[in-house]
């Protein structure tokens, strides 16, 4: 993936239509793993590794093996908070603050903007 | 320490993919219809085809669904492996080289009807033999421990088939291994060189007791009553002379926790050394004509038991983690387990990201102990 950092510190990480609503994508910006999320058309970005046990948060929304036979078809998901529910153990991490309320643990959140169909992240 | 930052999609640290990982607790869930095809008994089969083989009728009990925000996700948080290929796909994600598969019918011990539950256990073993083992996967042979005679029959029927590397049963509020009725089963297990792997079952503490009914959270139910039953299972087997009669018998306690090991080893020794006189009155020890146990109680724990790691529940500080691993005899006793696909999944990240693990300990826990125990 090509990344390019603008003068204002934003880096182009993806085309907006590359990321389906309800899913995530992993990108590396300046050596930092970033998880980019599309929550009902709103884009969010956090550190990619879950503060619990380092699951890759970008895999949220991935279809499970035989997902149609499980209660939910995807690994993890999103809540209305909005929060990302981790694909491993469903910790809910607030996408505005990066916090997991029950443990008090926190990860980085990054500013995101969409311009001309491109998603840009500032880390 | 290798970095995992290179690939954001990677589930595990890069170094994990270079280490051999044997996973002792990989649950496979073939569809009910698929399993029923393997039920031979026509009477049992007819009933399976018309009546769901679900929970025994009993009042509702607590489960993970009340404890996670989404509800109802606990059993299949990661998906559902129905065929061998599913197992292989998932194992790769989590850097698992050798998943030891069980056809996890963990509700079986609580089912009431022995004809039905014996039939489904036999069917699951035949499914494993027919559909899983030929794909080069190792399996555990389910033993119907509620019926030791039938358990022996099942061990003799399939115990020498390549691919079945151990036997699978359950610890919980069931007859303890100290009951001499299990001796023929132990004899068969030793004869077939099959370690007995006991997993927690879905029954939890008996309901309709003040203790069972008093536990209203998943943390108590799964987090603590399984370890209590696991610990009792171990202590009971030691004190009843099981390993004096069957010194080669190996038992694995699966998903019953592991940080209780230091407590059990010192407390067993202390109590036994202060009160050794009653052991000779246990029917098995009496039959052996022994006055005392033949070894120090904690020696049996180290030599005849293993415990699985999931969930590891590591302390925050590496120094504390390292001490607990030492006290728990992890290098001798721990076997890695993932518990895929449940919400309690435990990928072995800690073995690669925490300084508590050096190369030797990592190898012992992730594969060496299991390789030696199961001969794989
Ligand atoms: S690793 Fe994310 S919830 Fe456990």
Residue A76: closest C-alpha in chain B = B77
CA of B198 vs chain A CAs: smallest distance (Å): 24
State the best of A54, A81, A93 to mutate against chain B, taking most chain B CBs within 10 Å: A54
Domain boundaries, chain A: 4-122
Residue B70's pLDDT band (cuts 50, 70, 90): low
Probe residue for ligand 1, chosen from A86, A93, A103 as the CB with the greatest number of ligand atoms within 8 Å = A86
Instruction: Please check whether residue B167 lies inside any domain of the structure.
Output: yes
Tell me what pLDDT residue B52 has. 72
Mean pLDDT of B172-200: 96
Residue of chain B with shortest Cα separation from A49: B8
Asked if B347 and A55 come within 8 Å (Cβ–Cβ), the reply is yes
State the Cα–Cα distance between residues B190 and B130, nearest whole angstrom: 25
- CB nearest to B9's CB, from A26, A64, A65: A26
Q: Which residues line ligand 1 (CB under 6 A)?
A: A 50, 52-53, 55, 86, 88-89, 91
Say whether pLDDT at B233 is over 60.
Answer: yes
Structure confidence at residue B3 (pLDDT): 41
- In chain B, which residues have their Cβ closer than 8 Å to the Cβ of A30? none
Q: Which of B87, B158, B89 is nearest to B129 (CA)?
A: B158
Cβ of residue B219 closer than 8 Å to a chain A Cβ: no
Dihedral, B204, B210, B213, B218 alpha carbons, nearest 10: -60
* Domain A4-122: top CATH class: mainly beta
Q: Do A90 and B353 touch (CB under 8 A)?
A: no
Peptide bond into A95 cis (omega under 30): no
Lowest mean pLDDT across A66-80, B128-142, B326-340: A66-80
* DSSP letter, residue A30: T
pLDDT tens digits for range B45-67: 998 888 776 655 555 566 777 78
Whether residues A70 and B4 touch (CB distance < 8 A) is answered with no
Output the six-digit token pair for B234.
Answer: 């171990």
Dihedral, CA atoms, B272, B273, B278, B280, nearest 10 degrees? 100
Question: Touching check for A54 and chain B: CB below 8 Å?
Answer: yes
Whole-number Å distance between alpha carbons of A33 and B4: 9
User: With bands split at pLDDT 50, 70 and 90, how would you rate the model's confidence at B1?
Assistant: very low
How far does A73 lie from chain B, in Å, by closest CA? 8
User: Which residue of A65, A83, A105 is the best one to mutate when testing the B interface, meaning the one whose CB has the most B CBs within 10 A?
Assistant: A65
The predicted structure's pLDDT at residue A44? 98
How many CB atoms sit inside 10 A of residue B38's CB?
20
Instruction: Specify the pLDDT at position B304.
Output: 98
CA of B22 to the centre of ligand 1 (A): 22
pTM value is 0.95
Q: Is residue B3 part of a domain?
A: no
**Residue B345 to residue A59, Cβ atoms within 8 A:** no
A vs B: CB pairs below 8 A:
89
What confidence score (pLDDT) does residue B202 get? Answer: 74
Q: What is the pLDDT of residues B96-151, one digit of tens each?
A: 999 999 997 888 888 888 999 999 999 999 999 999 999 999 999 999 999 999 99
Question: Is A92 in CB contact (< 8 Å) with chain B?
Answer: yes
Query: Each residue of A10-29: pLDDT tens digit?
Result: 999 999 999 999 999 999 99
- Count of domains for chain B: 1
Residue B1, domain member (yes or no):
no
Residue B58 is assigned to a structural domain of this protein: yes
Residue B329 within a domain: yes
A31, A35, A90 ranked by CB distance to B68: nearest? A90
- The tokens describing B60, both together, are 């509702």
From ligand 1's centre to the CA of B205, what distance in Å?
28
Query: B69 to chain A, minimum CA–CA distance in Å?
Result: 8
Higher pLDDT, B299 or B106: B299
Q: Under an 8 A CB cutoff, do B11 and A59 touch?
A: yes
Q: How far apart are CA B318 and CA B323, in angstroms?
A: 9
Report yes or no: B341 and B78 within 8 Å, Cβ to Cβ.
yes
| Within a domain: B239 | yes
Average pLDDT over residues B32-49: 92
Q: What is the pLDDT of residue B75?
A: 82
Whether B302 has a pLDDT exceeding 90, the answer reads: yes
Asked if the structure places residue B339 within a domain, the reply is: yes
Q: Which residue's alpha carbon is nearest to atom 1 within ligand 1?
A: A53
Q: Which of A65, A70, A75 sits opposite B89 (nearest CB)?
A: A65
Q: In this complex, is the C-beta atom of B87 within 8 Å of any C-beta atom belonging to chain A?
A: no
Chain A residues in contact with B79 (beta carbon < 8 A)? 64-67, 70, 75
Interface mutation target, options B6, B34, B77, B312, chain A, most CBs of A under 10 Å: B77
Residues 111-170 in B contacting A (C-alpha not used; CB under 8 Å): none
Provide the mean pLDDT of chain B.
93
Instruction: Label each residue of chain B as H, E or C.
Output: CCCCCCCCCCCCCHHHHHCCCEEEEEEECCCHHHHHCCCCCHHHHHHHHHCCCCCCCCCCCCCHHHCCCCCCCHHHCCECCCCHHHHHHHHHHCCCCEEEEEECCCCHHHCCCHHHHHHHHHHHHHHHHHHHHHHCCEEEEECCCCCHHHHHHHHHHHCCCCCEEEEEEEECCCCCCCCHHHHHHHHHHHHCCCCEEEEECCCCCCCCCHHHHHCCCHHHHHHHHHHHHHHHHHHHHHHCCHHHHCCCCCEEEECCCCCCHHHHHHHHHHHHHHCCCCHHHCHHHHHHCCCCCCCCHHHHHHHHEEEECCCCCCCCCHHHHHHHHHHCCHHHHEECCCCECCCCCCCCCHHHHCCCCCHHHHHHHHHHHHHHHHCC
Token pair of B210, please?
A: 């003040």
Pair type for strands B98-103 and B334-335: unpaired
Tell me, yes or no, if A68 comes closer than 8 A to chain B by beta carbon.
no
Q: Is the pLDDT of residue B162 over 90?
A: yes
Rounded (10°) angle between helices B148-158 and B114-127: 20
Does residue B373 have a pLDDT over 80? yes
- The pLDDT tens digits of the residues spanning B261-274 come to 999 999 999 999 99
């Amino acid at each position: 993936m090509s990344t390019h950092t603008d003068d204002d510190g934003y880096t182009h990480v993806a085309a907006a239509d590359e990321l389906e609503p309800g899913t995530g994508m992993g990108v590396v910006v300046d050596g930092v793993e970033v998880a980019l999320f599309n929550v009902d058309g709103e884009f969010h970005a956090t550190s990619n590794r879950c503060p619990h046990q380092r699951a890759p948060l970008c895999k949220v929304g991935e279809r499970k093996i035989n997902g149609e036979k499980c209660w939910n078809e995807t690994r993890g998901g999103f809540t209305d908070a909005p929060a990302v529910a981790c694909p491993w153990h469903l910790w809910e991490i607030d996408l505005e603050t990066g916090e997991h309320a029950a443990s008090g643990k926190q990860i980085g959140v990054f500013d995101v903007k969409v311009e001309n169909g491109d998603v840009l992240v500032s880390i | 320490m290798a970095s995992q930052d290179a690939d954001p999609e990677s589930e595990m640290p890069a170094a994990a993919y270079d280490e051999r990982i044997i996973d002792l607790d990989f649950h496979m869930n073939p569809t009910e219809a698929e399993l029923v095809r393997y039920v031979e008994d026509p009477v049992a089969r007819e009933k399976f085809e018309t009546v769901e083989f679900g929970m025994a009728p009993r009042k509702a009990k607590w489960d993970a669904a009340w404890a996670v925000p989404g509800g109802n996700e606990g059993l299949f948080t990661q998906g559902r492996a129905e065929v061998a290929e599913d197992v292989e796909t998932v194992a790769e994600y989590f850097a698992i080289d050798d998943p030891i598969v069980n056809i996890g019918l963990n509700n079986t011990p609580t089912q009431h009807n022995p004809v039905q539950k014996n039939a489904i256990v036999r069917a699951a073993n035949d499914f494993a033999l027919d559909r899983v083992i030929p794909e080069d996967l190792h399996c555990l042979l389910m033993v119907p421990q509620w019926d030791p005679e039938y358990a022996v029959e099942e061990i003799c029927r399939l115990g020498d088939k390549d691919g079945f590397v151990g036997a699978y049963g359950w610890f919980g509020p069931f007859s303890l291994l100290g009951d001499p009725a299990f001796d023929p089963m132990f004899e068969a297990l030793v004869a077939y060189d099959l370690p007995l792997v006991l997993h927690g079952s879905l029954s939890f503490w008996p309901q309709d007791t003040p203790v069972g009914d008093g536990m209203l959270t998943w943390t108590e139910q799964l987090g603590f009553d399984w370890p209590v039953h696991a610990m009792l299972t171990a202590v009971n087997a030691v004190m009843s002379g099981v390993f004096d009669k069957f010194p080669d018998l190996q038992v694995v306690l699966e998903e019953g926790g592991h940080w209780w090991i230091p407590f059990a080893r010192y407390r067993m020794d202390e109590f036994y050394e202060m009160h050794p006189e009653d052991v000779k009155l246990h029917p098995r020890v009496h039959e052996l004509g022994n006055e005392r146990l033949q070894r120090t109680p904690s020696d049996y724990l180290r030599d005849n038991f293993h415990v699985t790691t999931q969930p590891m529940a590591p302390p925050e500080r590496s120094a504390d983690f390292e001490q607990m691993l030492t006290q728990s005899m992890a290098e001798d006793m721990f076997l890695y387990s993932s518990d895929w696909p449940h919400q309690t999944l435990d990928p072995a990240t800690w073995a690669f990201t925490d300084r508590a693990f050096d190369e030797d300990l990592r190898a012992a826990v992730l594969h060496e102990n299991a390789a030696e125990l199961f001969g794989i």
